[in-house]
Amino acid sequence: MFVVAVTQVASLLHADHRRPGGGRAAVVLIPIIWTWGGTTMHANTHDLERAFERLGAFAVGLCGLFMALALP
Domain boundaries, the chain: 2-69
> pTM (2 decimals)?
0.71
pLDDT at position 6 over 70: yes
The whole-number pLDDT of residue 72 equals 67
- Identify residue 15 by its one-letter amino acid code: A
**Per-residue buried b or exposed e for 35-72, using 16+ beta carbons within 10 Å of the residue's own CB:** beeebeeeeeeeeeeeeeeeeeeeeebeebeebbeebe
What pLDDT digit, counting tens, does each position of 15-65 carry? 888 888 888 889 888 988 888 888 888 888 888 888 888 888 888 888 878
**Torsion angle of C-alpha atoms 20, 7, 2, 32, degrees rounded to 10:** 0
The whole-number pLDDT of residue 37 equals 87
Would you call 25 exposed, middle or buried from its count of C-beta atoms within 10 A (0-12, 13-18, 19+)? buried
